[in-house]
Structure 1
Amino acid sequence: MKLSTRDLILAGLFAALTAVSSYISIPIGPVPITLQSLVVILAGLILGSKVGALSQLTYVLLGLVGLPIFSGGSGGLDSIFHHTFGFLLSFIFTAYIVGKITERDKSYKSISIAVIIGTIFIYIIGVPYFYLIFTTYLGKSISFYGALKFACIPFIPGDVAKAIIAILLSKELIKRLPKASVSI
């Protein structure tokens, strides 16, 4: 994959936006409410699959090397054993999937489908990881429904609002910021 300077700048910008959005956090239990999922979805919509995923890979790697850019100001390799790390991993794949769905079609229908699938995909990786860490690594007794109760259900209203914002905002941003060029 050949990346232009513009691609690298935009990937870095979205990695930084994801980091900043992790600090906008409302702790409501084991998983805080942040604006990260909004930025991740926008990365896929605006940057496309490859550069969007690169932006989130950059964010996760910077956190893993120790920069305190994960929610709550955490970072480092031990973050892998935190119950919310699955959500961070999902960001890479979510940006890629959202970007892939909308690379050829930027209609409201395509964007809406991508946003819904991307939001669901965050839960598909995040909730089982949450459950796995809670039950195996932390040794706590929790049912899978309990994991859904803590890591999914309370977030649905906010994710619906973020999805609407992403759909509306992306159409305007796409007009103003032409798609990053990626050559293979």
Structure 2
Amino acid sequence: MKSPRGLILAALFAALTAIGAYIRIPFPVVPFTLQVFFVLLSGAILGPRRGCASQLLYLAMGLLGLPVFSGGGGVQYVLHPTFGFILGFPVASWVVGTISRIGRGENFWQYLAASLAGIAAIDAIGILVLYLNLNYLAGVPTSFWRAMQVGLFPFLAFDAAKGVAVAIVALKVKEHYLFS
């Protein structure tokens, strides 16, 4: 990723992820946002290294205090119950980029499988950190099952829809532009 083009594309997807944090659909407890859409798309379009770099940049911007997370920014955000989902963004982008490139057979089903795997990575890290934050930082005794009921199940259908949208958009972008 030493080329200026690679740096610009990584910065672009970091910015898109930040914008996605503020495109909200109200929902009890935590609103739906389009962050995950841009995280998955970054891996599908940029590949594992550039996609992961874009999400690391997004994470760094937020931790340095820029209000790029859906609830603001700053180092104190690590104490936020949903911070684990953001920690999963670089991993998810890398997973999506890696799976999307297997055999160079980039097609709708491969992008969809990659997106669903990326969502699984975000959710696995997010639910684990949510469980730990609630039990050990917030002092709210919570079972792992309850953490999944609150932080995972309400979002599955919406995240699956984002995965389908990413597969469609990635396929169209790859047909018309050379990003690899």
- Is the pair's TM-score, using the shorter chain for normalization, greater than 0.5? yes
State TM-score, norm by structure 2: 0.94
Q: Percent identity?
A: 39
* Aligned twin of 2:158: 158
Deviations 1:159-184 (A, max 9, x none): 1211111111110011223124xxxx
Q: Counterparts of 1:99 and 1:157 in 2: how far apart (Å)?
A: 22
Q: Is 1:54 the equivalent of 2:58?
A: no
Give, as a single letter, the amino acid of the residue that structure 2 aligns with 1:147.
A
Q: Counterparts of 1:31 and 1:132 in 2: how far apart (Å)?
A: 18
* Aligned twin of 1:21: 20
Please say which of residues 153-162 and 54-63 is displaced more in the overlay.
Answer: 153-162
Map of 1:5-16 to 2, 5 A cutoff?
5-16=4-15
Q: Is 1:75 the equivalent of 2:73?
A: yes
Q: Counterparts of 1:86 and 1:29 in 2: how far apart (Å)?
A: 19
Secondary structure at the aligned position of 1:48 is classed as: helix
Q: Counterparts of 2:74 and 2:130 in 1: how far apart (Å)?
A: 18
Structure 1 contact 90–126 (Cα < 8 Å) conserved: yes
Higher RCO by CA contacts (8 Å cutoff, separation 6 or greater) = 1
Structure 2 contact 13–38 (Cα < 8 Å) conserved: yes
Tell me the CA shift for residue 81 of structure 1. Answer: 1.1
Cα 1:142–1:27, aligned 2, differ >3 Å: closer, same or farther?
farther
Q: Counterparts of 2:130 and 2:26 in 1: how far apart (Å)?
A: 16
Q: Counterparts of 1:63 and 1:41 in 2: how far apart (Å)?
A: 18
Runs of 5+ unmatched residues, structure 2: none
Give, as a single letter, the amino acid of the residue that structure 1 aligns with 2:59.
V
Aligned residue pairs, count: 178
Structure 1 contact 29–150 (Cα < 8 Å) conserved: no
Tell me the CA shift for residue 15 of structure 1. Answer: 0.2
Runs of 5+ unmatched residues, structure 1: none
Structure 1 contact 31–150 (Cα < 8 Å) conserved: no
Structure 1 contact 30–151 (Cα < 8 Å) conserved: no
Q: Counterparts of 1:66 and 1:135 in 2: how far apart (Å)?
A: 26
Cα 1:34–1:64, aligned 2, differ >3 Å: closer, same or farther?
same
* Aligned twin of 1:43: 42
Measured on the aligned residues, the alpha-carbon RMSD in Å equals 1.2
* Aligned twin of 1:84: 82
